[in-house]
Each structure stands twice: as C-alpha cells, then as structure tokens.
A and B are shown apart, each in its own frame.
Chain A
C-alpha cells in the first residue's frame, strides 16, 4: 500500500503539488457541500438528524412539492424578484450615468469624486443598513425631510408594506452603484474619441451620440454587469434582516431570508436546501442567458 502511494507521489508533477491544497479545500468545503445540499434537499433532514443521521429518511420530491405549494415561498420569491428586477435597472442606470459624468473631458477632481462615490460599496453592509434605518425614519429621517422641501408628504418607508421594498431598493442602489460605475467607466474609456468626433461631424446631437456611439460601445459590458447584478440581487438577505426583519407583513421577506429562517431557526435543513436549490436554478438560468448573449456579442 505504502509502496503504491510512493509510486503515485512520484508520478505527480510539481504543478499537482502546488494546486493540491487549494483544490482539496475547495473540494471539502465547497464542492462536497454542494453535492450534500443536493442530497439533503430530498430528505427530511431536521434537528434530530443533526444530532444523529439515523433519524434521516429520503422523502423524494416532497420538499420541492411542499415549497411550490407554500404561499410563504411564493411571497419570498415575488419579493426577491421585485427587488432584483426593479433594483437592477435603477442601479445600472445610475452607474452608467455617473460613469459618463466621470468620463466627461474637462471635469476636475475626478479621483476625489471616484473615491467618494465608491465609498458606499466598501462600507460594511450591516452598518450602512443601520444608518439607513435612521435616514428613512418617518419623523426624524433625512429622506422625508428632503422630500418635505419639495412638498412631498412624509412616507412611512419601513413601516408601510407598500414602501418597504422601495426603501430597501433605494438603500441597495446607494450601496452598490459604485461597483458597476467603475467597470462601466473602464468600458467607456475604451471607446475611441474619433467615433465621437466623426459622429459630431455628421451632425449628431448629444442624445444621438449616446444612442449610436456610447451605448453600442458599452453594450456587452452593460449587459454583463446587469446580469451579474440581477444574480447578486437575488441573494438579498442582510438588508431586510437588519432594516425590517422581513416585514412589515412579510413585504421584504426574501428567498435567502426564508432559507436562513427555515434552516437555522426552525432546523428544517432538508426543506431549506430545496429553497437553496431553487435559488441556484434561478442563478443558473441567469448565467445561461449571460453565456448565450456573450456568444451573440462576440
């Protein structure tokens, strides 16, 4: 046995030795758990199984069937989709607008603007969410005060089920726009100035130059960051956890929040794994669109 092992080790090249530790870790703590989650989603894994695996039994598709028949699951799905599908366009539009502003020739202090604008992205999400709870406070918050200046009556952002998700979107856009802004800025800088010049010579106005030079120039990158942002936004969790605890009236309860509560509060790990896999299926779908569209752009 040890002789075989020695022969095996001799057969390995230095490259194998260099990648082995990282791959081993990835296997044990990433890939094997993924397979584990898949198996788990077909079992009734609960707190008793957590204590002793003998208490585990396979229940086929029951977890998926129960999820798809559960109003709470669909509520979480609807909320998450709302957040991702409304939040992404807003976030991308802001990122692109500010990237274009940063790319405008003649504007001074660009490094300062860039750094400050990126600040929210670096700031710790939980701490920023706490600040925004106060920013969005009904009586006291600056958002309502700002709206009051332009004559809009105060909104109960985090207390009204109709406004809670818009409030979280507002926060998420503030928190995240910087990341895509820098990526889009790099893409804008790659568009040759001559294209703008010749468009101008042809008599194209600013809007027409935006449509025919800027947008086509950044389209592949724009599409890629949009899909990555949708995928990221589908993983909504900490914002509602800190700002609303999923409320009011479950209006900010997300898929990942559901998985967390189901799995780690009520210890229905099997059931929660099924939620995780449905989320995964959504993300796979999004990345499939991305791969297909990358081929289309290339």
Chain B
C-alpha cells in the first residue's frame, strides 16, 4: 500500500506533463487541417469539423513551400555528410592513432569548447562575403562541417575499440587508410548514426546563422521561410500552423525513429558544440 501512493502521484504528474508538452504540437497539427473560418473561429477549436488540405495546398502552390522543404533537406543532408566526413576521421585519430602533439592539440580543443558560435558570426560573415559564399548552401553549413562536439563524441566511442583488432589488420599488411575503411568505420556505425542525427536536427532547426547568410529567399530554409511568412500572414492561423507542421513533422519523425541513437549522444556528451 505504501508503494502505491508514490506510483500514483508520479503517474498523475506524468500524464498532466505529457498533455502539456504535447498539446501545442497537437493543436498545431489539428489547426493546420481547419478551413479558414474554423481556424480563425472564436473561441479556438480543438479539432476540425470539416478537415481540409487547403492550407497545405496554398503553402505549396503560392508560398513556394516545396522549394523551402528541398532547401532545408539539402542543407541538413549536406551538413550531415560533411560533419561525418571530417569529425569521424579526426575523432578516431584522437582516440587510436599516436602522433606528435596529440595530447596538446586535444587539450586545446577541449579549452575551445567554451567559445560560443555566435562569437564567430561577424568575422565569418566578412570571410564568406569575400569567398562569395553568402547566399549559398555551403555558406549555411560552414559551422556544421567540423565541430568540437562531433570530434569528442566520436573519440569517446572510438576509445572502446580494441587495439588488438586494429593491430591484427596492420600485421596483415593493411595501410592505415584500409584499417580505417574496413575495420574502424563498420565498428563506428552506431556513433555515426548518433552524430548524423544530431547534425541533421541541428542544421534543420538552425535559425540565426542562416538568417545572417541568406538574404535571397530562394535559398531560405524552413525556419527562415516560416518566420518571414509569419510577418505577413500572422492572421492566417491555419496557414501558419500548416507551415509549422511541415517544418516540425520531419524532425519529430526522425527523432522517434532514431531515438535510441539520439539519446546516446545526449548522454555521452552533455557538452553542446
């Protein structure tokens, strides 16, 4: 009987908290299917009486939503691919290869963790302007290419690879690159998924840096596009909610599918990069 009371309280708290956490997202989805009159009705409605796809049709037909979805998708995929290429090689080397200056370099990177990305934005803008990378996809992904967080994440995981396994391949005459390709990469797959999900979500959700780099709306990612849309169409609530749904749904689905990998990164790092 004593054990039941805390369980009951905890269960109740969780039910209410879950409703509170999910409600705005639920309402967003529900309202995105409401015709204009229902979405703007007072008092606000919870569910559409006469559901419609009009808001989505309007977004894709007249607000270039398709273009923005592709922009976001491309930016997030490019960021993920580059981040994997640079961080996995470096993270593995810091964990398993001996080279001169390794410890000092690593300490320096650790110290650099406190530097916030925003500090680099003003000079980086000037640099990208001179490299003619403003208003390009590459310009948007620059901060994601190589990250301290990514290097640490991979290094932490790679430390657990057994040295004997790598040594055996070397004895068999494999070059370092072959060892990396054939032995290391397959064994690092779980952490690569983790890093990939993190980078994809971060690039998809990013706002301030794309806002600085992209002034031409042909290159807008979804967050920029819906922020701009909200300045003109705030009264059009169904339309805005459809835009928010298009932006949020892909990352939520990705998270639900790859949750296990995401949480591993969250717990192993606890450092934000």
Binding site for B on A (CB under 8 A): 12-16, 18-19, 21-23, 25-26, 28-34, 36-37, 40, 50, 97-98, 100-102, 104-108, 112-113, 115-120, 122-128, 130-135, 139-142, 145, 174, 178-179, 182-183, 186, 206, 224-225, 228, 231-232, 235, 237-238, 241-242, 256, 259-260, 263-264, 269, 272-273, 276-277, 279-280, 283-284, 287
The number of residue pairs between A and B whose CB atoms lie closer than 8 Å in the complex comes to 267
Chain B minimum-CB-distance residue to A108: B11
Given A182-B267, A264-B125, A34–B89 Cβ distance below 8 Å?
A: no
Q: Which residues of A contact B9 (CB under 8 A)?
A: 101
Asked if A128 and B122 sit within 8 Å, CB to CB, the answer is: no
CB contact list, B207-249 vs A, under 8 A: 207-208, 211-212, 222-224, 226-227, 230, 234, 237, 240-241, 243-244, 247-248
Q: Which residues of A contact B100 (CB under 8 A)?
A: 13, 16
Which residue, A101, A135, A276, has most C-beta atoms of chain B within 10 A? A101
| Closest 5 A/B residue pairs (Cβ) | A15-B99, A36-B123, A18-B93, A15-B97, A22-B90
CA distance in complex: A115, B17 (Å):
12
CA distance in complex: A246, B11 (Å):
39
Asked if A37 and B263 sit within 8 Å, CB to CB, the answer is: no
Binding site for A on B (CB under 8 A): 3-4, 6-7, 9-11, 13-14, 17-18, 20-25, 27-28, 42-44, 85-87, 89-90, 92-94, 97-100, 102, 105, 109, 112, 114-116, 118-127, 129, 142-143, 145-146, 148, 151, 176-177, 180, 201, 204-205, 207-208, 211-212, 222-224, 226-227, 230, 234, 237, 240-241, 243-244, 247-248, 251-252, 255-256, 259, 263, 266-267, 270, 272
A34 touches which of B17, B115, B222 (Cβ 8 Å): B115
CA distance in complex: A142, B25 (Å):
13
User: B199 CB to closest chain A CB, in angstroms?
Assistant: 14
**Chain A: interface secondary structure?**
helix
Asked if A22 and B86 sit within 8 Å, CB to CB, the answer is: yes
Asked if B7 and A235 sit within 8 Å, CB to CB, the answer is: no
Asked if B267 and A186 sit within 8 Å, CB to CB, the answer is: yes
User: B273 CB to closest chain A CB, in angstroms?
Assistant: 10
